Homo-oligomer: A and B are copies of this chain.
Amino acid sequence: MAVGWFYLSVLALCSLGSMCILSTIYWIWYWQGGFAWDGTVLMFNWHPVLMVTGMVVFYSAASLVYRLPQSWVGPKLPWKFGHAAMHLLAFILTVLGLHAVFDFHSHRKIPNLYSLHSWLGITTVFLFACQWFLGFAVFLLPWASVQLRSLLKPIHVFFGASVLSLAIASVISGINEKLFSSLKNGTNSYSRLPSEAVFANCSGMLVVVFGLLVLYILLASSWKRPELGMQAERQVWGFGLPFQVGVGPGLGKGHPVKTWALPGRPTQ
């Protein structure tokens, strides 16, 4: 039943995530003139698309890697690589999204980082970078002790969900800001809710629904890899490559699970 709900949620997530990206592309392409990489406003147009794709949809997909039941069985290391690689891809898209807006500002002599949207956005990207480097250094490289991992995992998990929440707040304030600055005149003013405003507002609300569903799945304990794995597993190095001593989920039964847990759901 829990697995059935999980795959139903995955289907809903894939649909919603695709819709978030496609609706942002359509908004920009249809109403804002499309895309270019030339320092004009068409370069700025990559910013909302890359931020929604990188900081929201790909970030969410990367965060949910350990919720796949397949990831619960056998060695955890390949899944860790997948988690880190997908987050790195999300981060690269995010940096490209930032580059698009900074380059546009630079060409147009517009100051950077003055609005609250930009302050929150750059803070979110900074936290994402810290989160990635902390995760890479402590959970992927083999030097960290089990104690250090246990100490840092709650911080890693909490800031994982927090970064996504802050990214959604940044996207909402960004779409709001863009519509206020581009819908100003007569029948096309934002307050008259022209079709662009309705479409872009709906895209923003879609991002919110997607984010809430991701957070629900992230925090629901029954969709997590049983926690005993983290206690028992240690990467070991052999033949010049890292291997991992892991435990299957069955071994975790009866062990007190100290993770985010949703009320009313069994933890294993």
Contacts and interface: CB of A to CB of B under 8 A. Distances in A.
Interface of A: 110-111, 114-117, 119-120, 123, 150-151, 153-154, 157-158, 162, 165-166, 168-170, 172-173, 175-177, 179-181, 190-193, 197, 200-201, 204-205, 208, 212, 215-216, 219, 221, 227, 256-267
30 contacts: A111-B193, A114-B190, A114-B192, A114-B197, A115-B176, A115-B179, A115-B180, A115-B190, A116-B200, A116-B201, A116-B204, A119-B204, A120-B208, A150-B263, A150-B264, A158-B216, A158-B262, A162-B215, A165-B165, A165-B169, A169-B169, A172-B173, A173-B176, A176-B176, A176-B177, A177-B177, A177-B180, A258-B261, A258-B264, A258-B267
A154 B262 contact: yes
A247 to B, nearest CB: 17
A34 to B, nearest CB: 22
B153 A263 contact: yes
A165 B218 CA distance: 15
How many copies of the chain does the oligomer comprise?
2
